[in-house]
Amino acid sequence: MPRALVTGAAGFIGSHLSEALLDRGFSVIGMDNLVTGDVANIAPFTGRDFVLVRHDVTNFIAVEGPLDYVFHFASPASPVDYLQLPIQTLKVGGLGTHNCLGLAKDKGARFLLASTSEVYGDPLVHPQREDYWGNVNPVGPRGVYDEAKRFAEAMVMAYHRVHSVETRIVRIFNTYGPRMRVNDGRAIPAFMSQALAGEDVTVFGDGQQTRSLCYVSDLVDGVVRLMLSEVTDPVNIGNPDEMSIRALAERIVALTGSSSRIVEHPLPVDDPKVRQPDITRARTLLEWEPRVPLDEGLDRTLAYFRRKLGI
């Protein structure tokens, strides 16, 4: 039975990844300090071969017994979180990645970094390919997240080249689904909670900035495929179907049957104008592409938010 450590296991993606690994017959150690994670996310699979360890990965990590895989997903991931926790975000990207890589090296485990499309910043190349180096403002408010992930990628490659650690890097594009936090601050939780409450649905700027939305089960499938592959270069995992934020807001208002108005708020500093992954590498090397249509994924996510909000 393969044994895996998942950091950030009580978070949105980390909990879905942990569950998928359990379904594949893995023994899973989940590690989370619960700063942005929620034990409710792991409740559906407690009692299985899963244990949650409350620990901050910026401190030394010790795991007893053998370990085959390390999935490093610990980090504040939404703008609301990393703007409120800028130093913690930098530390988990730097010290946390260093500690996880050290553990993988010590155990002879394969390591996967959850990186992000934010390494491309506000891109000047569209769609974004893995060989694009990005357009990031290192001293802007979003730089704490963007540069933490860029530094983490550099450290992963250093351990791969110097210590021969088997490493993988996934660049995650916008992902959605059940277990997102209501107050997450990202578009889908914000739009759904506002529409369900009959409040104004707020878009930033004129709403013409674009995002590409991948349902969480598709994302997790890509992550597992990458970990089990022999691909050591970064790989984009996301849905290449691009849409504007305003169009997304209109679709969610229609799905909820809400009478909410769409109102505009000022655009945040350095907010990316476009997001669309080039997934050629994932298609050719992993035989992966997203399968869940947007309306189906939104329906599943909306059902979750209705339960969560008691509506």
Residues known to be catalytic: 145
Burial (CB < 10 A; 0-12, 13-18, 19+), residue 1, is exposed
DSSP 256: H
Q: What is the 3-state secondary structure (H, E, C) of 1-65?
A: CCEEEEECCCCHHHHHHHHHHHHCCCEEEEEECCCCCCHHHCHHHCCCCEEEEECCCCCCCCCCC
The two tokens of residue 83 are 């703007």
Burial track 101-134 (b if 16+ CB lie within 10 A, e otherwise): bebbbebebbbbbbbbbbbbbbbeeebbebebeb
- Sheet with 3-7, strands from edge to edge, namely 50-54, 27-32, 3-7, 69-72, 110-116, 167-172, 235-237
Helix (H) or strand (E) holding 113: strand 110-116
Whole-number Å distance between alpha carbons of 261 and 65: 55
- How is 154-200 classified by DSSP, letter by letter? HHHHHHHHHH---EEEEEE--EE-TT--TT--SHHHHHHHHHHTTPP
Phi and psi torsions of 18, nearest 5°: -60, -45
Torsion angles phi and psi, residue 39, rounded to 5: -60, -20
